[in-house]
């Protein structure tokens, strides 16, 4: 079975906005798994989170950049459904302090069959149902 990586919102922001010092570890991680023919996923939650700043700042070209990057890199999309909602609730019940958006992202990664969850949210390392890869550890 091929590796599968779910990418949270913050790594995509770092990559597409060239945010230092995070852009290089994110780029290396993604390319390493791309070379292993891994599948990449993100979710509609990522879309909603990513779009906020470009809409606020009227920089809609950043939304196009994001969409084109996902398409060209070969990302697949997880759509929130009943199974993801239920798993997110279980994650929040088990892991206190995990916010709804984070729980939906984690649940999406699990339901879409991903081995890894790339994020820069250190507190999500407590979630053991998926291998959380914290950018700060790369």
pLDDT in tens, the chain (138 residues): 689 999 999 999 999 999 999 999 999 999 999 999 999 999 999 999 999 999 999 999 999 999 999 999 999 999 999 999 999 999 999 999 999 999 999 999 999 999 999 999 999 999 999 999 999 999
Residues 71, 55, 59, 12: is their CA dihedral positive or negative?
negative
As its CATH architecture, domain 4-137 has 3-Layer(aba) Sandwich (3.40)
Q: What number of helices (H) and strands (E) belong to the chain?
A: 6, 5
């Amino acid at each position: 079975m091929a590796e599968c990586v779910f990418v949270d919102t913050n790594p995509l922001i770092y990559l597409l906005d060239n945010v230092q010092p995070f852009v290089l570890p994110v780029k290396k991680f993604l390319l390493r798994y791309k070379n292993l023919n891994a599948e990449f996923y993100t979710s509609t939650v990522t879309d909603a989170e990513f779009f906020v700043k470009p809409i606020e700042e009227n920089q809609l070209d950043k939304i196009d950049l994001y969409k084109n990057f996902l398409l060209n890199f070969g990302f697949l999309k997880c759509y929130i459904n009943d199974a993801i909602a239920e798993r997110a609730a279980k994650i929040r019940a088990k892991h206190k302090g995990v916010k709804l958006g984070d729980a939906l992202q984690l649940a999406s990664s699990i339901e879409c069959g991903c081995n890894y969850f790339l994020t820069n949210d250190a507190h999500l390392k407590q979630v053991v149902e998926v291998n959380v890869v914290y950018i700060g550890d790369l």
